[in-house]
Amino acid sequence: MKILVCIKQVPQKDAPLRLNEQGTWIRDDVSWETNEPDAFALEEALRQKEKHGGEVVAITAGPARAQQVLREALAKGADRAIHLEDERFAQMDAANTARAIAAAIGLEDGGGNFDLIVTGLQSDDFGAAQTGVLLAEILGVPHATIIIGIEKTDGGLKLKRELEAGNYQHIEMPMPAVLTIQSGINKLRYATLIGIKQAKMKPLKKLAWTDVEAKLSPHMQRIERLYVPESRKQTKRIEGPAGEAAKQVVEYLKNEARAL
C-alpha cells in the first residue's frame, strides 16, 4: 500500500496562547507539536505498511517551523516527506488546505497513485474536521470519518467507524480512499535513536506557494475576530495554597451547593 499521511503542526496543548494585536489570530511565539490525531494516523499508516508492504509519505502545509513534524514522522518510519512551505499555508481555510495537498499529490511522479490517504479527524487549532473529507471530494475518491479500525480486504477496506454514545459501525469501501483517524486507534511508537539518525538521510521534498497557487481558490470563509469566550456561569474562583483551597471548596459544597 502506498499511503499519504497529512500532518499538521499545532500549538502545544499546554502552551499559553495570546492573541495578536488585531485580534484575528494567535501570536505564534509558542511551542508547537504534531496534531494529536495525526500522530495516530501516521502510526496506522506505518502499521499497514508493515503488514502489507508499500510506502508511507508524510505531508504538511505550513511555515518553515512545520518541518519538525515531518522530521518526527521520518524518524518514526515514514519513507519520505513533502513540505508545502510558506507562511500563507498556516491560516488557510480547510478547502484550500485540501486543494494545496491535492496539488502536491498531483505533482508526484505518476500523479501520486496513493492507495490510501489518512488525516487526523480534526486539528487542535482550527477544529474544522473538514480537510480530509474535502480532499476526498477534490480527488473524487470515497472517504470515511472517525475511523478506529482499518483492515485491508481483497476488494478494498473494512473499517470500523466510531459513532456517538458508544456505538460503532463497520463499513466497506474500495481503494483509493481518504480516511480521517480518531485518536486512540492504536498505541503510538516512539522514535528510536537509529530512526532519528536515519531520518536525516530520508528525502524531504519542498514545494513553494507558487507550485500550487494556481490550484487554490479565494477563501470562502474568514475569521473576523478571535476572542476569549465569556463564561456561561457564575464561577467561584479559588486560588492559593492547597489546604486553604480545599477548605473553601468544602465550605461551598456544604453551604451553597448542599452537596455534602
Partner 1 sequence: MADTILVVAEQREGKLNRVSFETIAAGQAIGRETGWAVEVVLPGAGQAAGELAKKAVARVMALEGESLRAYTSDAYVAALKAFIAERQPKLVLFPHTYQVRDFAPRLALALERTLIADCTGYKYEGGKLLFTRQMFQGKFAADVSFGGDAPWMATMQTGAFRGDSAADGTAPVETVAAAESAPRVTPHEVFQEAKQTVDLSQAETIVAVGRGIKEQKNLALAEELAKALGGEVAASRPICDNGWLPLDRQIGSSGQTVAPKLYVALGVSGAIQHIVGMKGSRTIVAVNKDPEAPIFEIADVAVVGDLFQVVPALTEEIKKAKA
Residues of this chain that bind ligand AMP (CB under 6 A): 6-8, 35, 37-38, 59-62, 89, 94, 97, 119-120, 122-123, 126-132
Phi-psi bin for 245: left (phi > 0), alpha (psi -120 to 50), beta? alpha
Cα–Cα distance measured from residue 136 to residue 116, given in angstroms and rounded to the nearest whole number: 11
Interacting partner of 111 out of ligand FAD, ligand AMP, partner 1, none (Cβ under 5 to 8 A depending on kind): none
- Which residue among 21, 109, 154, 164 contacts partner 1 (CB under 8 A)? 164
Cα–Cα distance measured from residue 247 to residue 238, given in angstroms and rounded to the nearest whole number: 10
Please report how close the Cβ of residue 166 comes to ligand FAD at its closest, in angstroms.
Answer: 9
Site string for ligand FAD, 111-130 (x = CB under 6 A): ----------xx--------
255: its cell numbers: 453551604
Please report how close the Cβ of residue 249 comes to partner 1 at its closest, in angstroms.
Answer: 6
Biggest CA–CA distance in the chain, Å, is 71
Interacting partner of 226 out of ligand FAD, partner 1, ligand AMP, none (Cβ under 5 to 8 A depending on kind): partner 1
Residue 222 as a binder of partner 1 (CB under 8 A): the answer is: yes
Residue 110 as a binder of partner 1 (CB under 8 A): the answer is: no
Residue 29 as a binder of partner 1 (CB under 8 A): the answer is: no
179: its cell numbers: 480516511
Spatial CA neighbour of 46 closest among 83, 75, 9? 75
In the numeric block, the cell 518541518 is attached to: 67
Spatial CA neighbour of 35 closest among 64, 2, 13? 13
Which range of residues in 50-58, 79-87, 103-111, 240-248 is near partner 1 by CB under 8 A?
240-248
Supply φ then ψ for residue 222, to 5 degrees. -140, 135
Element (H, E) at 136: helix 131-139
Spatial CA neighbour of 76 closest among 197, 166, 170, 228? 197
Residue 142 as a binder of partner 1 (CB under 8 A): the answer is: yes
Nearer to partner 1, 81 or 118 (CB): 118
Site for ligand FAD in 133-162 (CB under 6 A): 146
Interacting partner of 174 out of ligand FAD, partner 1, ligand AMP, none (Cβ under 5 to 8 A depending on kind): partner 1
Question: Which residues contact ligand FAD (rule: CB under 6 A)?
Answer: 13, 121-122, 146
